[in-house]
Structure 1
Amino acid sequence: MLSTGALRAHLLAAGLAGTVATTREASLRSYRLFAARDPRVLLGLDPAGGWGEADLLRLMAEKCGVSGDPSHRSGLDVIDPERTVRRLDAFAARLGEAAARRAPVLFGTGHPHRLLGFYVALADALSSAGCPVLTPAQGRCVDMTTRFGLRTHVLDHVRGVAFVREPGPPPDGRVPGAHSHSALPVRAALESAAESGGPLPELVIGDHGWVCGAGQLGIEAIGLADTDDPALFVGEAEGQVSVAVPVDDGVRSASYRPLTRYVLNRACLSR
């Protein structure tokens, strides 16, 4: 069992909160692009409000603990570990509620190299609790815009967690997934589930476009988000996203294991 104090200490030691690797420049650029409604940072969200750069900075200061000073333009960003802990508690509560009613769930990540293990452990726990962990659209091709132009990716699942990968065999047996912000994969997965007549998820768990894309379609969604991912926090503020947890989403995959233990314990899903 991981105490709140031990979790807070780990968040700071691992760079998951406190001073994080995400730069202030990267975060401000995302806020500027979001204010301009650039689809690369909207992550499938269609905001109802008129979010300007100043509005987004105030929101991210409130939700994440970044500096609200608009003259602070460079350096490393900051996440308040207290906010991370509080939102992890809310995240765990949603998992516990889903487990209690044995709700069908869908997991998806745009960070398979970093976060796959975190989601796999949650998927295993919910499956053991009787929740159907859905794996729709296995092998379906998804055409997504990348910095190299339009590229075809394949939707894949590993132990109940969806992601996209480039076509062909994985290199050297490694996790084959690609980093992605797109909401197209979750739309393809939901379309496939509907076409097959199978159950639709009552809860989507993940990050990036998986959360915002599902939330925009009216499906409850929870996930992790960095300081340069304002879409999840806007979605939470507007009600499309149930829980957005502020955390650095690019550290070593092993660093997320204590978060897994904490969340599963708080959700009463530890085995």
Structure 2
Amino acid sequence: MLSTGALRAHLLAARLAGSVATSREESLRSYRLFAARDPRVMLGLDPEWGWGEGDLLRLMADKCGVSADPAHVSGPDVIDPERTVAALDAFAERLRAVAGAGAPVLFGTGHPHRLLGFYACLAEAMSAAGCVVLTPAQGVGVDVASRFGVRTYRLDYVRGVALVREPGVRSPGSATGAHTHSPLPVRIALGALADAGGPLPELVVGDHGWVCGAGQLGVEAIGLADTDDPALFVGEAEGQVSVAVPLDDAVRADHYRPLTRYVLNRAGLPVWQEWP
């Protein structure tokens, strides 16, 4: 079992925490856009409180460990590995509780190129524990606004994890999907479950719009978030998101493997040798 000390060392070595690739400029830009309620960074969240740039900077300093100094405007951003470890522990405890109840779960990612393997291993472990891993609205079209206009994707599932992909690019089941912040996929998935009479997920696990979109609809959600994704941490502060784990969400996919093992062990779920 990976110790917390070994996990902390890995987080720093892989730049999942510590000095990360996300720049201070990117983070501050996201905070400005969030304060202006720009939908590109809201990720489907509709906050109850008024969040100014200063409020967001203080929140992110508390949740992630970024500098609280507004005069610090350039260079790499920083995530405190102690906060990452504590959040991963809380993340694992929610998985443990849901697995113990054998409740249905829904997994989805807007970062399939980086995070698909992490979520897929969790999905397989939850299924082995007796949970139904939901895969609603397979193949349904999703119209997502982008800087190039509205683009139509389709909802697909790989090893129990939802993602969106451009129609015709790859066959269903392939690991290539599109990067997206949109909450529309989770809304469509949850709507399809509701129209079919359920069951609805007890927990949604993912990132970006999958977490905030579910939380905004009153479904418990936990996920991973970078320093330029303030929406998940605002959702956690306001109670729409149960756990937001601060880490760099765009490093090499294999760097998340130790996190998978750590979370599964902490959650009391099986870690099979063939899993990455």
Say if 2:196 is the partner of 1:187. no
1:21 aligns with 2:21: yes
Q: Alpha-carbon deviations, 1:131-170, whole Å to 9, x = none?
A: 0000000000010101110010100000110011111032
Runs of 4+ in structure 1 over 6 Å off = none
Structure 2 unaligned blocks of 5 or more: 272-276
1:60 matches 2:60: yes
* 2:103 is equivalent to residue 112 of structure 1: no
Matches within 5 A, 1:226-241: 226-241=226-241
Output the CA distance in 1 between the equivalents of 2:194 and 2:136.
Answer: 9
1:202 aligns to what?
A: 202
Q: CA RMSD in A?
A: 1.0
Task: For 1:226 and 1:59, locate their aligned partners in 2 and report how far apart those are by CA, in whole Å.
Answer: 13
TM-score with structure 1 setting the length: 0.98
Query: Equivalent residue of 1:219, what SS?
Result: coil
Q: Which residue pairs with 1:98 in the alignment?
A: 98
TM-score, length of structure 2 as denominator length? 0.96
Deviations 1:105-144 (A, max 9, x none): 0000000000000000000000000000000000000101
Q: How far apart, CA to CA, are the structure 2 residues paired with 1:133 and 1:156?
A: 14
Instruction: Name the amino acid aligned to 1:14.
Output: A
The match for 1:245 is 245
Distance 2:41 2:169 in 1: 30
Asked whether 1:213 is paired with 2:213, we answer yes
Secondary structure class of the residue paired with 1:197: coil
Deviation at 1:175, TM superposition (A): 2.4
Match status 1:177 vs 2:148: no
**2:259 alignment counterpart:** 259
Q: Is the 8 A contact 1:264 1:270 kept in 2?
A: yes
Aligned letter for 2:18? Answer: G
Deviation for aligned residue 1:193: 0.8
Distance in 1 (CA, whole Å) between partners of 2:119 and 2:8 is 20
Secondary structure of 1:15 counterpart: coil
Residue 11 of structure 2 contacts residue 81 of structure 2 at CA under 8 Å; is this kept in 1?
Answer: yes
When structure 1 is superposed on structure 2, of 150-159 and 191-200 the one drifting more is 191-200
Report the secondary structure of 1:162's partner residue: strand
Deviations along 1:28-76, whole A, 9 cap, x unmatched? Answer: 0000000000000000000000000000000000000000000000000
Q: Distance in 2 between matches of 1:174 and 1:101?
A: 31
Displacement after TM superposition at 1:174 (Å): 6.0
Q: Is the 8 A contact 2:158 2:175 kept in 1?
A: no
CA drift of 1:198 comes to 2.9
Q: Write the mapping of 1:3-22 to structure 2, written as runs, cut at 5 A.
A: 3-22=3-22
CA contact (8 A) 1:166 1:176 kept: no
What amino acid sits opposite 1:211 in the alignment?
V
Letter in 1 for 2:60: M
In structure 1, distance between residues paired with 2:224 and 2:266: 17
Report the residue type matching 1:140 in the other structure: V
SS in 1 for 2:144: strand
Question: In 1, Cα distance between the equivalents of 2:204 and 2:264?
Answer: 17
What is the identity, as a one-letter code, of the residue corresponding to 1:24?
R
Amino acid at match of 2:149: G
Aligned to 1:270: 270
Identity among equivalent pairs (%)? 77
Alpha-carbon deviation of 1:82? 0.1
Asked whether the equivalents of residues 261 and 270 of structure 1 are also in contact (C-alpha less than 8 Å), the reply is no
Output the CA distance in 2 between the equivalents of 1:22 and 1:176: 23
In the other structure, the counterpart of 2:163 is: 163
